[in-house]
Structure 1
Amino acid sequence: MKPFANRCLFAVFMIAAAIVTDSASAADASAGERFKALYQREWDWRRSQFAGADDEDSQGKPADRLPRVDAAAQAERERYWSQVLEELEAIPVAELSGEDPVNYAVYHQQIESLLTDQRLRDWEMPFNSDTAFWTNLGFTARRPLDDAESYRRYLAQLADVPRYFDEQIANMRAGLARGFSVPRVTLAGRDTSIAEVADSKLEDNLFYTPFKQMPATIPAAEQARLRTAAAQAIAGSVQPAYRKLLAFFRDEYLPQSRTTLAADAMPDGAAYYRAQIRKFTTLDMAPDAIHSLGLDEVAKIRAQMEQTIQQTGFKGSFAEFLHFLRTDPQFYPKTPDELLMRAAWLAKRVDAKIGRYIGLLPRQRFGIQPVPPDLAPFYTGGRGGLDTYWLNTYNLPSRPLYTLPALTLHESSPGHSLQMSLAAEHEGLPDFRRYTYISAYGEGWALYSEKLGVEMGLYDTPYETFGYLTYQMWRACRLVVDTGIHHQGWTREQAVAFMRDNTALSEHEIGTEVDRYIAWPGQALSYYIGQIAIERARAKAEAELGASFDLRGFHDAVLALGSVPLPVLEERIDRYIDERRKPPAAAGAH
């Protein structure tokens, strides 16, 4: 009887174990399904909320209108994301499996950041010295339109500009009333991009651009009707809205904007600055700790720069060498085409080498275009996206050739264009990871790409090596300058002097960059902190894997993530190390 009893007990045990296993599987499925349903619903809602938006990292659907930005819409977004966060935090993370724990960490950071901006009413300051809602509209105007329906949708957006601008003006007035504005010192000349649209003739108007050359597939009679409608929309809707905005900017915003610089000086300023640090770095770092880190890194890079000066044979002080670089004509392009063609040649040199450093390469190709003239005077030296590396050809005596290799690596390949293209082509990732951009990861990877140029042999002269180091120094200086301005009470003059004394950037670029940091708190911190995280992850993988470390495999592991918070990157590389450590499976018996 005992063996039978044991068999019965064993059977009961197995049934119970199966029930537990089935219950666990059901719980896994339930948690995973709840999470997927939540993020798919929210992502679709988010794209609908921003339908018609078109900027560098838009998350909106194509639409025959522009997004709502009024106070009621902002309140609705705050309520919605509050509910989403509540639902998200009710999901048992321990029950998620596969890639979902990573998806959860990325998504939680996204929602938290979106909600924080709503609660701090960041929408009451819808522009800065670098980016503005009215210039973002120009991205649509510069994109090719493929068919008559696309043109009709574009015309409907033009008709909606007055409503959209009125809502933005109301938001900015609310910001002014509580002392939440762009600092006045950064606003000089920023009205030029408004005036150019408000005052230009039809053929010269930015928003008429798509009608100058239309697809041959659209019949001539239809083209004529669309051009007539465009002329009416620009004269009747767009230009009056831009004139109204221009008057508001000059007569109200500029005189009433704040004279302080620090984010800390605004309402809830300390909380606002810490929130911007979390958003842009994905870490909860104190401003003073970032400032100290920046000073340490500046000192390290300064020593490397001094060694590089010796290699050039230059006799003189560090300051004298910087003056030489800023003023000698040999270092500057004579024409816009020279700058563009040099960048194109550098990009093709990368093409020849990139397969040795990255295994999976994107199908998407990028082009090189000059920054549009309405943006160029206050734009960065370059900017990269999925399909375009924008190179600033304005004020050529401020565009040194010795920094061009580092700039090209950062903005195109293996930097922004390559990373963003790989993310978009990664069909295994949810859309909220494929089509969003986390600055610490994206800028960190792009800055790391500049350093990768040393290994790729792309800095041909000591001057180009110094240009690479001055770009590293520039980003390390940002840690000091951003926290100096927004937390430690620095003046604009202090920030300019610190940049001038430590980098070989031109005076024009130093001025536009410092204004960018003043008007865009925290964004400048993402670059160097992101690069440090990637370098630290690589050093750990090299140390722990030794001879089995594979650089291409490491880069593929980093790039396969899409855009993620830095703690997620660190966790992924820890898993990568564990996976590489595992011995190969034993061969089966034959």
Structure 2
Amino acid sequence: MKKTFLALVLSGAIIGCNSQTADSPSTTQSQTQVSESQNPKQLAQQVFQSYFEESMALSPVYATFVGMNEYNDKFNAPISEASLAQNLALEQKYLDNINAIDESQLSGQDLLSYQIFKRDRELAIKGYDFPSHLIPLNQMYGIHNMYATLGSGQSAQPFNTYLDYQNFISRTDGFAAYMDSVIVAMREGMEQGVVLPRPIVDKILPQLSVHVVKDAKDSVFYGPVTMLDDNSELTDEQKQQVTEQYRTMIMDVLVPTYDKFYQFIESEYLPKARESVGLSALPNGKAWYEYQIETNTTLPLTANELHDFGQQEVARILEEMNKVKAQVGFNGDLPAFFTFLQEDEQFYWDNEQDVIDAYMAVKDDINQRLPKLFEVFPKADYEVRAVEAFRAASSAGASYQSPAPDGSRPGIFYINTHNLKAQPKFILETLSIHEASPGHHFQITIQQEVKDLPMFRKFGGYTVFSEGWALYAESLGKELGLFTDPYQWYGRLSDEQLRAMRLVVDTGLHAFGWTREQAIDFMAKNSSLAMSDIEAEVERYIAIPGQALAYKTGQRAIRDMRNKAQQQLGDDFDVRKFHTQVLIDGALPMPILEEKIMAWVETQK
């Protein structure tokens, strides 16, 4: 979930809304007019850069994450018809601009960028057919959680200078205004029958109440104040002033904002929350889910195809699990083996610090093995942290946050230690591969570090690519000399089984009318996951339809490309060079990646 954390938070919760103090695109210098006299390559690059600059002006919070600190005092504009229209107009303008360029005059990276950019604008415009702004947050991804992480002092928002602290105070006023607009939008959703399912709403309430504190020092937003003692940039007078300002900001702005939203959710919204859980139950829900499939997989797949593929993979992986059961000499059937894995204390950590220490140790082991399969490596490092307590109860088991583009902040591999029974020791190797190296940390950081990529590609992404790559990376474990312990190999199978079950459950919930209970029963029957983990997973699929489909479809696509390349090149196939080709151009839609890989194969012949 890493890279995905920021991408989903921003695309689902806050991109698409800003006019507050940021320059309006209509007045910036980044207006792009297509002229036939200009060089197509230069014009395309101008279009890409202008789009990125204008989109950052509309999404200043995202701009902070990509290192554009001039926006650190601004927040995205409240949700409104005007802000939605402004964003749609931006997409249409740049689609018109890119269509005016002769594609046949482009090649190499410029052609790749053209194809990606055009596809993205078309898909973004299509998305405005669906009222996602009426359900702008959920328990997994939402501005209510993201802003708390941002303001904790442990994320992208800098807290080094006096101006940094003032910037966040200004940004918080924008956050409060935005949250008011969320209430307005969700009330409109109540009128139109576009509301969140009840189990999702239940999970949001404690995420809000934790920020309604009686003492500012108890707030996660007080974190930057605790950092002042070690800060040499501020004078003592400034430190005292900032401390008072933050107490006022927390108690007079943030606490009332969270409390107001809590009261709205509890008293108004929860009674109107729907009992159905699938996207297809909403108005135009079938088409909406088909759009989610297209967005998350970038492939022409149907719910039926994905459901069947998932069922086949679940059955195959169960057979592999039976082989592990036999290998370790367990007497009993597979369900009994699952129970053994869930209950035996040898498979679980004693405390949070032991979990962090174990993942730091396996990090070093994996890093030493990577040159066997890779020839390009990220420059930035990553660190391992526990998920913050205020969001741990409804967060995924693990996630990844990319490093600062300038290298000032490492990547972060988050481990959820809220329930240690959901973090068994046997997933140690596979989870580290997936979230860190050579999974998300490798892919996302290399993408940020590649020179000359247009900014929209450097900081953009596709769930099917990032999650498909991370799951494919897990499949490299044995080639790297890992998974020699049969229980660690079981952990790999358990992780892949989770992704296979996602195909079945996500389509079941959103296309075939499954209930929350049906989905939970299916996952409990086919895995050794802790029940708390299963419930959190199912509620995640309910909250973000289609995202869970990306893992196995992306893995299958990348593996198929490798198999084709290996078949055609034979002894000349070099897996390290193949991995370079997959990673070196950043995230690509699967059809474009396949075209690129097959073209590379021809050059290798």
TM-score normalised by structure 1 residue count: 0.91
> Is 1:441 the equivalent of 2:450?
no
Partner of 2:288: 272
Cα distance, 1:29 vs structure 2: 5.9
Distance in 1, Cα, partners of 2:335 & 2:58? 51
Secondary structure, aligned partner of 2:384: strand
Distance in 1, Cα, partners of 2:77 & 2:323? 55
Q: 1:381 to 1:56 in 2, by over 3 A?
A: farther
**Residue number among 12, 31, 51 corresponding to 1:42 in the alignment:** 51
**Residue number among 468, 489, 504 corresponding to 1:465 in the alignment:** 489
Cα distance, 1:284 vs structure 2: 2.5
What do the CA deviations read for 1:12-67 (whole angstroms, capped 9, x no partner)?
A: xxxxxxxxxxxxxx979633233222222111110010113489889996331210
Structural mapping, 1:403-418, within 5 Å = 403-418=427-442
Matched letter for residue 297 of structure 1:
E
Partner of 1:585: none
Structural mapping, 1:217-232, within 5 Å = 217-232=233-248
Unmatched 5+ residue regions in structure 1?
1-25, 582-590
Partner of 1:132: 142
Contact 1:423 1:563 in 2 (8 A): yes
What do the CA deviations read for 1:215-246 (whole angstroms, capped 9, x no partner)?
A: 22211111111111111111111111111101
Secondary structure, aligned partner of 2:76: coil
Cα distance, 1:113 vs structure 2: 3.2
Structural mapping, 1:202-351, within 5 Å = 202-214=216-228, 215-351=231-367
Cα distance, 1:200 vs structure 2: 4.7
Q: 1:189 to 1:321 in 2, by over 3 A?
A: same
Cα distance, 1:199 vs structure 2: 2.3
Structural mapping, 1:54-93, within 5 Å = 62-71=71-80, 72-93=82-103
**Residue number among 411, 423, 433 corresponding to 1:399 in the alignment:** 423
Contact 1:264 1:270 in 2 (8 A): yes
Matched letter for residue 101 of structure 1:
L
**Residue number among 156, 169, 181 corresponding to 1:155 in the alignment:** 169
Cα distance, 1:341 vs structure 2: 0.8
Partner of 2:28: none
Q: 1:78 to 1:130 in 2, by over 3 A?
A: same
What do the CA deviations read for 1:363-418 (whole angstroms, capped 9, x no partner)?
A: 10001010000011111111012210001111112211111211111111111111
Partner of 2:368: 352
Q: 1:270 to 1:86 in 2, by over 3 A?
A: farther
**Residue number among 577, 580, 583 corresponding to 2:604 in the alignment:** 580
Secondary structure, aligned partner of 1:129: coil
Distance in 1, Cα, partners of 2:296 & 2:582? 19
**Residue number among 162, 178, 185 corresponding to 2:192 in the alignment:** 178
Aligned residues: percent identity? 29
Partner of 2:7: none
Matched letter for residue 46 of structure 2:
A
Q: 1:27 to 1:96 in 2, by over 3 A?
A: farther
Distance in 2, Cα, partners of 1:135 & 1:55? 16
Deviates more, 1:414-423 or 1:303-312: 303-312
Partner of 2:215: 201
Partner of 2:23: none
Matched letter for residue 123 of structure 1:
H
Q: 1:172 to 1:562 in 2, by over 3 A?
A: same
Q: 1:55 to 1:153 in 2, by over 3 A?
A: closer
**Residue number among 523, 537, 548 corresponding to 2:561 in the alignment:** 537
Secondary structure, aligned partner of 1:369: strand
Matched letter for residue 41 of structure 1:
S
Matched letter for residue 236 of structure 1:
D
Cα distance, 1:112 vs structure 2: 2.7
Secondary structure, aligned partner of 2:413: strand
> Is 1:364 the equivalent of 2:375?
no
Q: 1:29 to 1:106 in 2, by over 3 A?
A: same
Matched letter for residue 455 of structure 1:
E
Distance in 1, Cα, partners of 2:503 & 2:78? 32
Cα distance, 1:135 vs structure 2: 0.4
Distance in 1, Cα, partners of 2:322 & 2:125? 46
Cα distance, 1:178 vs structure 2: 1.2
Deviates more, 1:420-429 or 1:84-93: 84-93
Q: What value does the CA root-mean-square deviation take over the aligned residues?
A: 1.8
How many residues are paired up? Answer: 556
**Residue number among 528, 535, 538 corresponding to 1:514 in the alignment:** 538
Contact 2:299 2:590 in 1 (8 A): yes
Partner of 1:30: 39
Cα distance, 1:117 vs structure 2: 2.9
- Which has more radius of gyration? 1
Contact 1:467 1:504 in 2 (8 A): no
What do the CA deviations read for 1:566-585 (whole angstroms, capped 9, x no partner)?
A: 1111111102211211xxxx
Distance in 2, Cα, partners of 1:544 & 1:28? 43
Distance in 1, Cα, partners of 2:272 & 2:126? 26
Partner of 1:558: 582
Contact 1:125 1:175 in 2 (8 A): yes
> Is 1:377 the equivalent of 2:393?
yes
Secondary structure, aligned partner of 2:93: helix
Partner of 2:502: 478
Secondary structure, aligned partner of 1:452: coil
Matched letter for residue 204 of structure 2:
R
Q: 1:59 to 1:440 in 2, by over 3 A?
A: farther
Contact 2:134 2:188 in 1 (8 A): yes
Distance in 2, Cα, partners of 1:57 & 1:481? 34
Cα distance, 1:118 vs structure 2: 2.9
Contact 2:372 2:480 in 1 (8 A): no
Distance in 2, Cα, partners of 1:365 & 1:546? 35
Distance in 1, Cα, partners of 2:474 & 2:148? 30
Secondary structure, aligned partner of 1:384: strand
Cα distance, 1:555 vs structure 2: 0.6
What do the CA deviations read for 1:71-103 (whole angstroms, capped 9, x no partner)?
A: 111121112212222332333322222311211
> Is 1:111 the equivalent of 2:121?
yes
Distance in 2, Cα, partners of 1:58 & 1:322? 45
TM-score normalised by structure 2 residue count: 0.89
> Is 1:190 the equivalent of 2:204?
yes
Distance in 1, Cα, partners of 2:84 & 2:69? 16
Q: 1:271 to 1:295 in 2, by over 3 A?
A: same
Contact 2:77 2:174 in 1 (8 A): no
Cα distance, 1:460 vs structure 2: 3.3
Secondary structure, aligned partner of 2:445: helix
Matched letter for residue 35 of structure 1:
A
Q: 1:568 to 1:160 in 2, by over 3 A?
A: same
Unmatched 5+ residue regions in structure 2?
1-34, 403-410
What do the CA deviations read for 1:538-575 (whole angstroms, capped 9, x no partner)?
A: 11111111111111111111010211101111111102
Distance in 2, Cα, partners of 1:58 & 1:506? 38
Secondary structure, aligned partner of 1:198: coil
Cα distance, 1:525 vs structure 2: 0.3
Cα distance, 1:332 vs structure 2: 0.5
